């Protein structure tokens, strides 16, 4: 049944209050339909954006179209400055003169992405444009373009798989399609989390989830991908701490998103402050490592230890103040959750205008093939063993005499070798010790390095424990 929006006479499938309950109470991804079709921002295709932004230059990330089992992180991309109009000319195959800096890159080999562009910055001279985004329809009064970011990309443009440390995410697809690969929070260990490249609010996966290196990351086969292709006019809800890899499907894509703050962000900021201290301390201690190699371009410059420590103290103070204000520091759940994670009310909302993002069928196919292969291997071994047993009965009798002689000879040889080995052992102790000393001085590929230690220290589970110890320590 359609409902009248709280913001006027526009008809929506959910009222603002109902949409808010879904966003704050649902713990799996879902797609809203017919909630933003009347927003002026829903018509922000590249042609419209080019008119709105005119000659304003945006920073574009340029990546290679390649089949690679390792992620292409933002630290490995090129960066250029250009207008949306120049981007549009490049996509259209126009002359290099009209494409500006884009002209130096072959569209068949490279993609371009203007990502994380804050609308409040882009339209600081035209604040009225910010009213084209109406997140108040989802039950968040006053939230609009000022609290949103813009994403403009070409086919293949992607965001490496990661989780956002803060809040949950609402994404409006404006032009073109984007394919989202999402994984639940309990899959974190299977996605091999890393904090390098470092970005305050993002934890990246080492796995290229659409072309994984399964021999290097074997646990990834236990992950549970949920895949959805988002079409223009649709709004995707990404719950807190769901992993996501996003790739542009069409020649041009435009989307607008907003991260919704949650009470749990206070503790997450403490964890992020701890992570910043550890990462900066480790990486800054090695003068041979340039910040561009480990610091995400979105972060700017590396901060000092004093600055990081001050940030940690402020984050702890904010958390404790909220805890005192609420009594226990945790907001009560919106609804009593069922075993599947959604409330009775929210679960009943799925239907024509709210679509759950379901687990990918490919995952089940792959798992089924593995199980089938395992059964066939076992069955084959049993059948082979039976055939070999039958075939081998006659051969065994003929071979036993020969085998007995061989065993006797083997025992004598073994006894002689043992005596010789005993003598050699005494002589070789010094040589062995010397080799071991040399090996320790020249560690191999499996040796513990500074980066290995850093990965362990900033593992989300470790950081969470440290944050809890800090926040519950006795006052002095």
Structural domains of the chain ordered from first start:
16-261+332-359 (2.60.120.650), 264-330+448-476 (no CATH)
Distance of CA 52 to the CA centre of its chain: 32
Q: Name the residue with higher pLDDT: 348 or 37.
A: 37
The band of 236, judged by pLDDT with boundaries at 50, 70 and 90, is very high
User: What sections of 12-109 are H helices per DSSP?
Assistant: 16-25, 46-53, 84-91, 96-99
Supply the mean pLDDT for the chain: 84
Average pLDDT over every residue of 136-145: 97
Please report, for residues 3, 138, 194, 448, the alpha-carbon distance to residue 17 in angstroms, rounded to integers and kept in the order given.
Answer: 11, 7, 37, 53
The band of 165, judged by pLDDT with boundaries at 50, 70 and 90, is very high
Residue 338 reports pLDDT greater than 50: no
DSSP, residue by residue, 115-166: EEEEHHHHTTT-GGGGGG-BGGGGT-TT-BGGG-EEEEEETT-EEEEEEESS
Q: How far is it, in rounded angstroms, from Cα 61 to Cα 52?
A: 21
Give residue 474's pLDDT: 86
- At 87-123, the pLDDT tens digits run 999 999 999 999 999 999 999 999 999 999 999 999 9
Residue 299 reports pLDDT greater than 80: yes
Average pLDDT over every residue of 284-307: 90
The band of 10, judged by pLDDT with boundaries at 50, 70 and 90, is low
Residue 364 reports pLDDT greater than 90: no
User: Which residue from 178, 341, 315 is spatially nearest to 255, judged by alpha carbons?
Assistant: 178
Residue 7 reports pLDDT greater than 60: no
pTM of the prediction?
0.79
Average pLDDT over every residue of 141-147: 97
Q: How far is it, in rounded angstroms, from Cα 209 to Cα 357?
A: 17
The band of 326, judged by pLDDT with boundaries at 50, 70 and 90, is confident
The band of 425, judged by pLDDT with boundaries at 50, 70 and 90, is low
Are the C-beta atoms of 176 and 249 separated by less than 8 Å?
A: yes
Give residue 332's pLDDT: 42
Using CA of residue 195, residue 199, residue 202, residue 205, what is the dihedral sign?
negative
Give residue 429's pLDDT: 52
Residue 137 reports pLDDT greater than 70: yes
Are the C-beta atoms of 195 and 458 separated by less than 8 Å?
A: yes
């Amino acid at each position: 049944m359609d409902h009248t929006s709280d913001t006027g006479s526009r008809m929506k499938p959910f009222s603002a209050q109902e949409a808010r309950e879904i966003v704050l109470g649902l713990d799996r991804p879902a797609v809203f339909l017919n909630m933003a079709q009347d927003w002026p921002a829903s018509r922000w295709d590249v042609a419209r954006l080019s008119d709105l932004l005119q000659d304003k230059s945006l920073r574009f990330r340029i990546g290679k179209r390649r089949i690679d089992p390792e992620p292409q992180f933002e630290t490995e991309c090129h960066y250029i400055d250009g207008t949306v109009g120049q981007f549009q000319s490049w996509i259209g195959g126009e002359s290099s003169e009209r494409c500006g800096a884009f002209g130096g890159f072959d569209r068949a080999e490279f993609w371009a992405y203007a990502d994380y562009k804050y609308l409040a910055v882009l339209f600081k001279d035209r604040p009225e444009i910010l009213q084209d985004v109406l997140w108040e329809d989802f039950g968040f009064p006053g939230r609009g373009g000022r609290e949103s970011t813009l994403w403009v990309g070409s086919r293949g443009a992607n965001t490496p798989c990661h989780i956002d440390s803060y809040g949950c995410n609402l994404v409006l697809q404006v032009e073109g399609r984007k394919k989202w690969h999402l994984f639940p929070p309990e899959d974190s260990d299977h996605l091999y989390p890393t904090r390098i490249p470092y970005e305050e609010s993002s934890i990246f996966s080492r796995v290229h989830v659409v072309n994984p290196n399964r021999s290097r990351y074997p646990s990834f086969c236990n992950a549970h991908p949920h895949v959805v292709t988002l079409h223009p006019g649709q709004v995707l809800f990404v719950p807190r701490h769901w992993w996501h890899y996003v790739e542009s499907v069409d020649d041009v894509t435009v989307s607008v998103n907003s991260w919704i703050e949650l009470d749990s962000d206070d503790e997450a900021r403490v964890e992020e402050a701890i992570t910043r201290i550890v990462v900066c301390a480790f990486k800054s201690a090695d003068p041979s490592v340039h910040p561009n190699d480990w610091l995400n371009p979105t972060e700017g410059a590396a901060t000092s230890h004093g600055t990081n420590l001050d940030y940690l103290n402020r984050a702890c103070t904010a958390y404790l103040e909220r805890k005192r204000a609420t009594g226990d520091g945790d907001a009560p759940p919106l609804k009593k959750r069922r075993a599947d994670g959604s409330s009775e009310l929210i679960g009943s909302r799925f239907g024509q205008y709210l679509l759950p993002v379901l687990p990918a069928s490919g995952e089940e196919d792959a798992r089924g093939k593995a199980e089938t292969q395992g059964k066939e291997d076992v069955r084959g071994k049993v059948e082979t063993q039976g055939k070999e047993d039958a075939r081998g009965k006659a051969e065994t009798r003929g071979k036993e005499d020969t085998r007995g002689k061989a065993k006797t000879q083997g025992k004598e040889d073994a006894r002689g070798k043992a005596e010789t080995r005993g003598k050699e052992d005494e002589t070789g102790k010094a040589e062995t010790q010397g080799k071991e000393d040399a090996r320790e001085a020249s560690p191999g590929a499996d040796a513990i390095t500074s980066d290995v230690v850093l990965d362990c220290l900033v593992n989300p589970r470790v950081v969470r424990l440290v944050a809890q110890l800090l926040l519950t320590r006795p006052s002095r």
